[in-house]
Structure 1
Amino acid sequence: METFPIYLRRLDKRKTVLIGGNHEAEHKAEQLLDRNAKLTVISPRLTKKMLWWAIQNRFQWFRRTYEQGDLEGAFMAIVADYEGDTNKKVYQEARERNILVNVMDDIPHANFAFGSIVKQGPLTISISTSGAAPALSVRLRQRFEEEFGPEYGAFLEFMQKLREPMSRHHDSFETRRKLWYELIDSEVLTHFRNGDLEKAYDRTAEIIGEKLVEEALDIEKVAQ
């Protein structure tokens, strides 16, 4: 089955309903909460970690099984644990309400799929085999987690700090584009990997100018 990958934003503004309280539900809830999702969980029982999140009011919890109408006002529904024909009922309600729905490990009752995710700060890599071999997605994720370490997160956070000074000092898109590629292709990332921030900042200054780096670092200090 052909799929089209997208990344959803503003999940804090739109309701997501998660049905289930097992470890698969916990994993999905953690991913959603990390992105500040407005989350509702429906399940008669929860894992210890999910129960702690519920006590902290990190999501709304209905301590029961799914009922018709639970998807009212939802943007997305996820079924991680169910009994009987709950999967079919949730899918039918989601279709009637034009809601994104995923019943885990039940492709016929899903209109979207989750990829295996590698995340390091702003970097997100999603891997999918379109249902052909999910185990391969897992192995690729494990490989990428080793290849793309925390230095990528630190590097990208620094790049984000540079965006405003770059736009302010360089009106030309082509100039900015050229400088961004010089940064990406330079040794700056290697210096982050080695934990040598001074060399990373110095090399960046050689490419885009010391003033821009100073402004970016000042912005970072204010943010802290």
Structure 2
Amino acid sequence: MFYPLMIDLNNKKVVLIGGGYVSLRKSKKFLEYGAKVYVVAPSFQEDFCLLKEAYAEKLHLIKDNYKSEYIVDAFLVVASTDSKEVNSKIASFCVEKNILCNVVDDIEESSCIVPSTVKRGELLISVSTLGNSPSLCGKIRKELEETYDEQYEEYVKLLGEVRKHILESCNDNKEKKIILNNLVNLNLKELREFYKELKKSL
């Protein structure tokens, strides 16, 4: 059974075997979260060139077929080749070396899965159907993107700042809890005003 867990990927080595669209999409996400991404494939989707321009030092494109030497020191591996046999071989090697492995379209071979995500600054929402329906994941993700739009990046950041000040300045634990619980009922404009007044009072 898979347990939802957030992992710090900053400067971790993530290797994707396969240069197709799925590998491209996943590479973009891993790069956004600070990983050092290596993609191994005999050929690559054209957009990998654009991705390389944007993440010159973080993205490494290796034009070759899969070899275990490419993943032996990886933190996470994604097997997304066209060959089930090769993907299974990658998964087996990862099990042997205790490396996290996601095999695209084969949850049984995977030791981890990559959910669909919505990121708004430090607000991170993820959704998964454990491989049953990627289409439903995509539908829910789009709905979440509309519900939690770009303003939530500032909203969550402000909530964090206000929370820090409340925790430092309020000694009554019960009052603290009430204030913090009520903050999420404020809209962004109201939260800005609350924060402005809070800073004046300190």
Partner of 1:60: 60
3-state secondary structure, aligned to 1:51: helix
4+ aligned runs moved over 6 Å, structure 1: none
Matched, 1:25 2:11: no
Amino acid corresponding to residue 211 of structure 1 in structure 2 = K
Give, in whole Å, the separation in 2 of the partners of 1:111 and 1:205: 47
Give, in whole Å, the separation in 2 of the partners of 1:211 and 1:53: 45
Matched, 1:15 2:13: yes
Partner of 1:140: 140
Q: 1:171 to 1:61 in 2, by over 3 A?
A: farther
TM-score by length of 1: 0.79
Contact 1:19 1:82 in 2 (8 A): no
Give, in whole Å, the separation in 1 of the partners of 2:74 and 2:173: 40
Q: Tell me how far 1:174 sits from its aligned partner.
A: 4.6
Stretches of structure 1 lacking an aligned partner (at least 5 in a row): 216-224
3-state secondary structure, aligned to 1:107: coil
Q: CA RMSD in A?
A: 2.3
Q: Tell me how far 1:138 sits from its aligned partner.
A: 1.7
After superposition, the C-alpha distances for 1:61-106 in whole angstroms (9 at most, x for unaligned) are: 2211111232111111012233362101100110011111011111
Partner of 1:211: 200
Amino acid corresponding to residue 28 of structure 1 in structure 2 = K
TM-score by length of 2: 0.86
Partner of 2:193: 202
Contact 1:21 1:46 in 2 (8 A): yes
Contact 2:88 2:109 in 1 (8 A): yes
Give, in whole Å, the separation in 2 of the partners of 1:162 and 1:20: 45
Contact 2:107 2:130 in 1 (8 A): no
Amino acid corresponding to residue 35 of structure 1 in structure 2 = Y
Stretches of structure 2 lacking an aligned partner (at least 5 in a row): none
Q: 1:175 to 1:99 in 2, by over 3 A?
A: farther
State the aligned residue count.
200
Partner of 2:177: 177
Percent of pairs identical after alignment? Answer: 24
Q: Tell me how far 1:43 sits from its aligned partner.
A: 1.4
Contact 1:69 1:93 in 2 (8 A): no
Contact 1:121 1:154 in 2 (8 A): yes
